[in-house]
Amino acid sequence: MFDVVALGELLIDFTPAGTSETGNILFERNPGGAPANVLAAVTKLGGTGALIGKVGCDPFGFFLRDVLDKHGIDGHGLRFSHNVPTTLAFVQLNEHGDRSFSFYRKPGADTTLAPEDLDFGLIDSAKVFHFGSLSMTDEPARSATRTALEYAREKGKIITYDPNWRPALWMNDEQAKENMLFGLQYADVLKVSEEELAFLTGKDDVDAGSRQFLECGVKIVVVTLGPKGCYYRCAKGSGSLSTYDTKVTDTTGAGDCFFGAMICQLSRYEGALAAILPEELAKMADFANAAGALCATKKGTLSAMPTEEDIRRCMSDTPLLKPV
């Protein structure tokens, strides 16, 4: 059994790494992709995970295969494209460590994952099936994602979903919203940013927007609020939590780390998600806040995931960040 099986993009993030002698920006090759980041957070916390995805049959793809192995992520569901290269993303950071992306994915190998590439045995063995919206930007990956979702729901798996809105990867906002909303039909647990909540619901208020998600059938909603912490909602209540006052270096992957920490705890939860109590969810969200805050103190993504010991120490020793 795997605690979490995730489907989606595994790619290369080229992140700024200083400048050359001639003053040109240097970029460091880092493994990335939101579903893989989530799995790295899970395995760093002692959970088990496997990835269903596709990379190019190129040096980047082989590197990513080895990265999965290094992080204890099962790679039997990873496929290799002989025709399309591994997806690349160049990350730019501002003075606050916040990032923007430039993607080289027209197409990228992750978009060529087809229904016939799916390893249904991995889904059978999962407690949680995790996915994001970026595997629905293009065919055939869109069909593969929908096929996997139908199968996971038929098998009674807990389904976790991160819409992970990246406007540059969609044909237009209408296509993005249609497919992102499609994913909500399957989600038991949803993680969104404030921007994604507003985009999907038309509401800027997290209370009203998260309530709308529950009306769609989602059982647990967590809204990441950056330096303001997070908001959580379940059928029995809601609340908000401040995050921890860590020194931010690079926010890339921090949201994935947050969600990976949440999912890892939910995979061990023995009760029904629909009946979870707000105080139980608050403890999980507090742990996830600390995980995301620690991830943001380091550069890179998969390699920046903290251990449970790191997180517990942060929760006991680090002051909360005061709301602005």
Residue-wise pLDDT for 272-295, tens only, equals: 999 999 999 999 999 999 999 999
d(CA 232, CA 237): 9
3-state secondary structure of 20: coil
Confidence tier at 101 by pLDDT (50, 70, 90): confident
d(CA 149, CA 161): 11
Closest CA to 50 of 13, 4, 114: 4
Prediction pTM value: 0.95
pLDDT of residue 230: 97
Residue-wise pLDDT for 229-276, tens only, equals: 999 999 999 999 999 999 998 888 899 999 999 999 999 999 999 999
Instruction: Specify the CATH superfamily of domain 2-10+32-85+106-317.
Output: Ribokinase (3.40.1190.20)
Provide the β-strand partners of residue 93: 99
